[in-house]
Amino acid sequence: MIKCVIFDVDETLVYYEGYNLKEWYEKIALPAMKRLGVIVDWEVFRKMAKGELPRSYVEKFGIDHVEFWKAMDRANRVYREELLKEGKIHVYPDVEALKELKKMGIKLAAVSNASQDNTELVLKAFNLLKYFDVVYGKDYSYLDGVKPNPYLINKALKSLGVKKEEALLVGDSELDIRAGKNAGIKVVQILRERKYEGADYYINNLWELVEIIRREL
């Protein structure tokens, strides 16, 4: 029986008009790095962002990794605020399904590799924060706990008092699938862009998720 659904946020519930990681690196990350006095090249940054290298890897460049990622998150906050003002962050229309899940008595969590601050900023902007029992962004006390590490997922399960077999993780990316599998819970990939192997379910929209859960109740 499914009692809890853990959602990824970016590109699962909301999306960013014209977003591209390399462009973000060039326009947002690089200037922030220059202010810190340390430059991490694109390929290393990409690997850290995609979970191929730990976030702490940046210490090889002679900077505290917490200081580094806090600086990236401050830059990201400014970036997100500007996009919101320009109307370039959008909510997917099927997020209305969150309301139905709450009516069904399902506990909801949001887990993101973005900072707590930046995650809540976007959820609040679209009045989505009210649906979630817990929201967890990256944890500065354990930055290597971002997805695909299961740390944040396990944190949500523990906080909600839910067993692994009673939960689903919903996300759009390979990172989400890997994180869910590492946590030992079933994964639903929502096909916002491309399909990745390894999920337990594939859906085209969140209303299909509602039907999956109804069958499990």
Q: Give me the average pLDDT of each 10-residue run along the chain (217 residues).
A: 96 94 96 96 94 95 96 97 97 97 97 97 98 97 96 98 97 96 98 96 98 87
At residue 9, the pLDDT reads 98
At residue 180, the pLDDT reads 98
At residue 216, the pLDDT reads 77
CATH 3.40.50.1000 fits 4-15+90-216, yes or no: yes
Give the CA dihedral 54, 129, 189, 116, nearest 10 degrees.
0
* CB-CB neighbours of 188 under 10 Å: 24
The residue written with tokens 């759009």 in the block is 172
Question: How open is the CA angle 178-180-183, to the nearest 5 degrees?
Answer: 110
Measured distance between the N- and C-terminal CA atoms of the chain, rounded to whole angstroms? 5
Going from N- to C-terminal start, the domains of the chain cover 4-15+90-216, 21-85
Question: How open is the CA angle 135-141-142, to the nearest 5 degrees?
Answer: 85
- Cβ neighbours for 78, distance < 8 A, ≥ 6 positions apart: 28
